[in-house]
Amino acid sequence: MKKVKADPKGVLTGVHYLDGDFAIAEGALAAGCRFFGGYPITPSTETAERFSARIPKVGGVFIQMEDELGSIAALIGAVWGGVKAMTVTSGPGFSLMQENIGLACMMETPLVIANVQRGGPSTGLPTLAGQQDIMQARWGSHGDYEVIALAPDSPQECFDLTIEAFNLAEIYRVPTFIMTDECVGHMHEKVVIPPAEEIEVVERKWYAGPKEEYLPYKLDKDGIPFMIKAGDGYRFHTTGLTHDERGYPVINAECQDWCVRHLCDKIRKNADKIIRLEEDEIDTAEVVVLSYGITSRVATRAVQKARQEGIKVGTLRLITVWPFPEKRIRELASLVGSFVVPEINYGQIVYEVERCAAGQAKVIHVPHCGGWVHNPDDIYNAIKEAVK
């Protein structure tokens, strides 16, 4: 993995007052993203607006596509043209992108999609928050594959994690999602953008060996194939069909086994390196509040109140939602009595917690169907119930 310092052209060093959507655009520019293809959708549009205003002065392309099917297809094309690319959307657009998210996985195309979630299903609550696309991020396209998804809980983290998303996308050659929500997207807070030389950016894993020997999907020692771009004389082929090392279609179960295992294992086997969690007072906890995104900020109130009453509450915030921290949850399940899982949906990540807890710890879900954040009292009551 080759790390370089960020190109100062894209870095707006300084202290700013930005909303999460703008911070995502700034994070992308700092990470070296020079192509944005998107379609307007509330509550994500501000990222596209910011990018369209900034990119002409940085050097790159913004194109408003005809729909989200086009946006994601253009992104994949752009990446194979040699640039870093991103788009931003919300539920309905994320649904439209799913087929080509699968293509990006199959072609092992690094790219970043931010989903500023709103309440669903369907048009749902265009202007109000939700965390209802978390499972869609994991399973939305057909077939078996793995992705990476990060969940920022503040505009600062929108900036930081967008850079991280680009870096992870490049390291593992996988679509990487920033799963934020309307609250964080529209929340204005202080965002500190460091000088370019303090921002580490992962370069694409460019192939540098002899041209004749290049095979687009031959795995390197680290399990990730080298990448090239169109126009460099390789005359290579890539396809959404099940393919061999040459990138040629091979329609049989053996090749499928090789291809799919690789797409999944490159993430599964590196999960420990990818996953980032934030834990607090876990060691002594009898109950752990597990949350992500905006909900972890709301949960803080409930946790404080419970602690004041002497209840031993730990917190675990998923910064990486996918891959899911299976190992850590299994470990904790044998140490703590229960998990309280608030999320702005009617049950998504809680299934993962239940699966990993496997009956060893009680799991209490605190659902919210979207439209607003939890009342902290609902989380507090769940904590009380957990220790009853």
Q: How far is the CB of 9 from other proteins (least distance, A)?
A: 8
Q: What angle do CA 12, 17, 22 make, to 5 degrees?
A: 65
Q: How far is the CB of 50 from other proteins (least distance, A)?
A: 16
Report the b/e string of 194-231 with b at 16+ CB within 10 A.
Answer: eebeebebbebbebeeeeeebebbeeeeeebbbbbeee
Rg (C-alpha) for the chain, rounded Å, is 21
Nearest partner of 75 among 97, 93, 50, 106, judged by Cα: 97
Question: Please, which residue, 56 or 347, has the CB nearer to other proteins?
Answer: 56
Query: Helices in 130-196 by DSSP H: which ranges?
Result: 134-139, 155-172, 182-186
Q: How far is the CB of 79 from other proteins (least distance, A)?
A: 7
Question: Please, which residue, 244 or 279, has the CB nearer to other proteins?
Answer: 244
Q: What are phi and psi of 197, to 5 degrees?
A: -70, -10
Nearest partner of 79 among 100, 53, 55, 57, judged by Cα: 100
Q: How far is the CB of 94 from other proteins (least distance, A)?
A: 16
Question: Please, which residue, 236 or 258, has the CB nearer to other proteins?
Answer: 236
CB 75 within 8 A of CB 37: yes
CB 368 within 8 A of CB 382: no
Question: Please, which residue, 75 or 128, has the CB nearer to other proteins?
Answer: 75
Q: How far is the CB of 136 from other proteins (least distance, A)?
A: 18
Residue 256 CA to its chain's centroid (Å):
26
Question: Please, which residue, 106 or 364, has the CB nearer to other proteins?
Answer: 106
Q: How far is the CB of 213 from other proteins (least distance, A)?
A: 15
- The residue with tokens 């690319």 is 85
Question: Please, which residue, 248 or 372, has the CB nearer to other proteins?
Answer: 248
Question: Please, which residue, 55 or 316, has the CB nearer to other proteins?
Answer: 55
Q: How far is the CB of 7 from other proteins (least distance, A)?
A: 12
Q: How far is the CB of 73 from other proteins (least distance, A)?
A: 4
Beta carbons within 10 angstroms of residue 265's beta carbon:
12
Q: What are phi and psi of 341, to 5 degrees?
A: -120, 95
Question: Please, which residue, 141 or 348, has the CB nearer to other proteins?
Answer: 141
* Binding site residues, other proteins, CB under 8 A: 9, 35, 37, 56-61, 63, 65-67, 69-71, 73-83, 85, 99-100, 103, 229-241, 248-249
Residues present in the chain in total: 388
Report the b/e string of 319-333 with b at 16+ CB within 10 A.
Answer: bbbbbbbeebbeebb
Nearest partner of 270 among 148, 355, 140, 149, judged by Cα: 148
What is residue 104's three-state secondary structure? Answer: helix
Question: Please, which residue, 233 or 359, has the CB nearer to other proteins?
Answer: 233
Question: Please, which residue, 14 or 249, has the CB nearer to other proteins?
Answer: 249
Q: How far is the CB of 106 from other proteins (least distance, A)?
A: 10
Q: How far is the CB of 102 from other proteins (least distance, A)?
A: 8
What would the two tokens of residue 382 be? 């769940």
